[in-house]
């Protein structure tokens, strides 16, 4: 026997209006995450781990934001033993 349900099946009102509003925002802002997390769909990764369309360069840093350091990382896809 397999049971599948989503937040849409909450007939007893366990989810608050605030939580439902948050979930609905994901439907608009990140539809793949919404489908995976809240509808239980298998969406796969496609060609990317991250959806790069959601990453935007900063135009400037706020004056009250202290920049402590800059770091970067690169994943070349190789496996190396330690």
pLDDT of residue 82: 56
Higher model confidence: residue 52 or residue 79? 52
39 — phi, psi (to 5°)?
-110, -10
* Domain chopping of the chain, boundaries: 7-54
pLDDT of residue 10: 94
Higher model confidence: residue 68 or residue 50? 68
pLDDT tens, residue by residue, 7-58? 999 999 999 999 999 999 999 998 988 999 999 998 877 666 777 777 888 8
pLDDT of residue 60: 85
CA–CA separation, 47 vs 67, rounded Å? 32
**Going by C-beta distance under 8 Å and a sequence separation of 6 or more, which residues neighbour residue 37?**
26
């Amino acid at each position: 026997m397999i049971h599948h349900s989503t937040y849409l099946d909450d007939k007893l009102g366990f989810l608050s209006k605030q939580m439902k509003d948050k979930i609905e925002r994901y439907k608009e802002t990140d539809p793949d995450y919404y489908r995976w997390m809240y509808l239980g769909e298998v969406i796969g990764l496609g060609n990317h781990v991250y959806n790069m369309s959601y990453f935007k360069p900063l135009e400037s840093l706020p004056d009250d934001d202290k920049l402590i350091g800059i770091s970067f990382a690169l994943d070349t896809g190789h496996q190396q033993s330690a």
